[in-house]
Amino acid sequence: MEKTFVLPDKILQLLAANINSCLTFEELSELLNPVFKTSGMNIGDPSLEKLKHAETVDALIFLEQQGYIVLNPDNDQSTVSLKGIIKIKNDRGLKSSLPS
């Protein structure tokens, strides 16, 4: 069974892929657009944009509370923490060791 999409996991993957830089909320939102589109969300709809924004903020707060990312409220930037990098590496190791 394939794992269903979880927004915090995708955000963590995006931040880890940009490990040498911070991403602003706007940059992260732009990178998440394809993910929301595949879930059937109409990106141009203002009410759905608010929902996307709220879900992204909730996921960022969750990741920060878990210690996986660092949020800078002064400039709206996020970066992956060492704990987040370790989580990603452990998750990838689990996936590669599971039988297909």
Give the up-direction half-sphere exposure of residue 19: CA atoms within 13 A in the CB hemisphere. 10
pTM for the complete prediction?
0.80
DSSP states of 23-74: EEHHHHHHHHHHHHHHTT--TT-HHHHHHHHHHHHHHHHHHHHHTSEEEETT
CATH 2.40.30.160 assigned to domain 7-94? The reply is no
DSSP states of 11-33: HHHHHHHTTTS-EEHHHHHHHHH
| Cα angle, residue 56 at apex, residues 62 and 14 outer, rounded to 5° | 85
Instruction: Write the pLDDT tens digit of every residue in 18-76.
Output: 888 899 999 999 899 888 877 666 666 777 888 888 999 999 999 999 999 999 989 99
